[in-house]
Amino acid sequence: MALPLRVFEERYRRLLADLLDEPADEPRRFGIVGIEFGHEVGEGAAHRLSDVGCVAEISSVHRREDGQYDIVAQGMTRFRVDAVDAPDAERPYQRAATTPLPDEVGEGAEELAERVNRLFTTYCERLASAGVRVEIPDDFPTDPLPLSYAVAAAVVVDRYDKQGLLEVDQATERLKRLAELLRRENRLLTTLPTLPAGPFTRHEVSLN
């Protein structure tokens, strides 16, 4: 998925500067991992990171006058974190040894994709009936693997569930988990008068 970011911390400005120093024909990529314990801002603030993250490739960069950057990165492939190196004076951002992870489809994915697509449509309809205008983009994927990622990105669930979806190696298993989550969320939307906070409180489903 596309990910817009404002880069303001000095260590991440340095990371971006190092990436921009790469040859123009080389992809500019970095890794993103979730924080399980701690918080983002400040050196040493993240005490425990998730084991699985995603490679992000920079597709556009805008440098502000104050030295901050606005970038758009595209999610590419998943990886497992094997070891994390401490920052140093030369590179004040964290680096890690990683292992690429496969993205397999699995058996029975087509049928599961149809089921998840129906449940997701119901999910959007129930949000709409609660007063939130929901628009699914025309290019929303239907193939099992991209659909599994698109719905996982769009549905409003907690970070633990999101991380679990990312860590699944097959679209089949991810779709199974999404079906369970969507059935749960659809039941909640029929009984609770409140709405979930997140992207659906805007005017459309965003793939960012």
Task: Grade residue 77 by pLDDT with cuts at 50, 70 and 90.
Answer: very high
Contact criterion met (CB below 8 Å) for 97 and 52: no
CATH of domain 2-100: 2.30.130.40
b/e sequence 166-185, b meaning 16+ C-beta within 10 Å: bbbebbbbbbbbbbebbeeb
pLDDT, tens digit, 9 for 90 and up, residues 57-73: 999 999 999 989 999 99
- How far apart CA 190 and CA 31 sit, in angstroms, is 39
The least confident of 29-38, 129-138, 166-175, 179-188 is 129-138
Task: Grade residue 190 by pLDDT with cuts at 50, 70 and 90.
Answer: confident
Residue range(s) of every CATH 2.30.130.40 domain in the chain: 2-100
pLDDT, tens digit, 9 for 90 and up, residues 122-131: 999 888 887 7
Residue range(s) of every CATH 1.20.58.1480 domain in the chain: 109-201
Q: Which CATH number fits domain 109-201: 3.40.50.2300, 1.10.1060.10, 3.40.50.300, 1.20.58.1480?
A: 1.20.58.1480
Angle of helix 171-191 relative to helix 109-129, nearest 10 degrees? Answer: 20
pLDDT, tens digit, 9 for 90 and up, residues 102-151: 999 999 999 999 999 999 999 998 888 877 777 788 889 999 999 999 99
- How far apart CA 132 and CA 156 sit, in angstroms, is 14
